Amino acid sequence: MSKSNRQNTSYKISFLDRFKMAISLHKKNAANTLLDVLRHPTNSLLTILVLAIALALPTAFYVFSSNAKAISSNWSGGVQMALFLKENVSQEQRAEFIQELSFRPEFKEVVLIPKEQAIEDFKQQSGFGDALDYLDENPLPDSIILTPYENHSGAAMLEKLAQELEQNPVVDLAQLDMAWIQRYQAILEISQKVGTFVSILLAFGVLLIVGNTIRLAILNRRDEIQVIKLVGATDAFIRRPFLYTGFWYGLIAALLAALMVNIVLLLLQQPSSTLAELYNSGFSLMGLAPSQTLTLLAIGASLGLFGAWFSVSKHLKDIQPT
């Protein structure tokens, strides 16, 4: 290049200026795309609503299943084991066995219910009071009620314990009334797996919806993208506003989803506490904790961002200036 040309070479830009401009570009992109989304609500509202529903469903399911889990954890804390003793067991054998049980580390509480007390209780509670007086002898055995510590109240553990105790010569039968808890937990587990699967599908759906929305936005601005490429825009420069758009879609949809779930929870609060009262339970419906709401927002925003990213990296290459 000749000397006369020197004055004409491109402006030099310092690194600091570049950095400052990059920051200010990001701010502008973020603000402009947000305004764009908000300013054209008819364009974006439908998409955002669909996204919000897709995010609200797994969220509601999550809240539902953590409530269900909370209920069942209360129950398993109350699991008890009943040992019915053989009829010919002497007082000494019985006392010895009780002592042995109370030394074991698994049990919080060991309570003997002698057969005399058992029949009294039964008389009072069953309403057969007078009828029972006609029996010649007490048909009920002595029993011991065991309350395990929480860390020993797992279903499998208790099952093993019951089998072991049944081997003891003084024990006739060890009864563990937890089949229904197991069933409940099994159903819960299945529904959790289904829920996880459906959530993954819905997350995938969110990616596709955002991806498709961004694809349309890219095609709409095809000419503009060609022009900007011609005047030297890098892919990153062109990509950025689309990524921000995806991000806003995801974030706003997540906010809306949180709102939807909270409204549903609010509507359920009254009936659920009535139900809990009927069951004499102190259970109260758990809502979305602030940290869970934040997680939802983060998931929504990143799904939006990634959906946009996939779309942009796929479609931007196809647009070249001609």
Task: Please report, as ranges, the residues that interact with another protein according to CB under 8 A.
Answer: 1-2, 4-5, 7-11, 13, 17-18, 20-22, 24-25, 224, 226-235, 237, 320-322
Handedness of CA 51, 52, 56, 59 (dihedral sign): positive
Instruction: Quote the tokens at residue 242.
Output: 């689309």
By C-beta, is 25 or 111 nearer to another protein? 25
Q: How far is the CB of 312 from another protein (least distance, A)?
A: 15
End-to-end, the C-alpha distance of the chain in Å comes to 29
Q: How far is the CB of 223 from another protein (least distance, A)?
A: 8
Give the start-end residues of each E strand in 149-201: 171-176
Measured CA to CA, the distance from residue 246 to residue 202 in angstroms comes to: 16
Contact partners, residue 81, CB within 8 Å, separation at least 6: 145, 146, 148, 158, 161, 162, 165, 174, 175, 176
Instruction: Quote the tokens at residue 148.
Output: 């395990």
Q: 146: part of which helix (H) or strand (E)? A: strand 143-148
By C-beta, is 5 or 167 nearer to another protein? 5
Q: How far is the CB of 314 from another protein (least distance, A)?
A: 16
Q: How far is the CB of 232 from another protein (least distance, A)?
A: 4
By C-beta, is 2 or 274 nearer to another protein? 2
Q: How far is the CB of 252 from another protein (least distance, A)?
A: 24
Measured CA to CA, the distance from residue 61 to residue 199 in angstroms comes to: 9
Contact partners, residue 208, CB within 8 Å, separation at least 6: 307
Measured CA to CA, the distance from residue 89 to residue 318 in angstroms comes to: 88
By C-beta, is 24 or 175 nearer to another protein? 24
Instruction: Quote the tokens at residue 110.
Output: 């060991």
By C-beta, is 31 or 194 nearer to another protein? 31
Q: How far is the CB of 49 from another protein (least distance, A)?
A: 27
By C-beta, is 105 or 317 nearer to another protein? 317
Q: How far is the CB of 241 from another protein (least distance, A)?
A: 12
By C-beta, is 37 or 165 nearer to another protein? 37
Crossing angle for the helix pair 235-278 and 222-230, to the nearest 10 degrees: 140
Measured CA to CA, the distance from residue 65 to residue 192 in angstroms comes to: 7
Instruction: Give the other-Cβ count within 10 Å of 123's Cβ.
Output: 15
Whose tokens are 């940290």? That residue is: 291
By C-beta, is 16 or 179 nearer to another protein? 16
Q: Determine the residue type at 152.
A: H
By C-beta, is 102 or 226 nearer to another protein? 226
Q: How far is the CB of 4 from another protein (least distance, A)?
A: 4
Q: How far is the CB of 320 from another protein (least distance, A)?
A: 7
CA–CA distances in Å: residue 64 to residues 43, 232, 286, 317: 33, 52, 9, 44
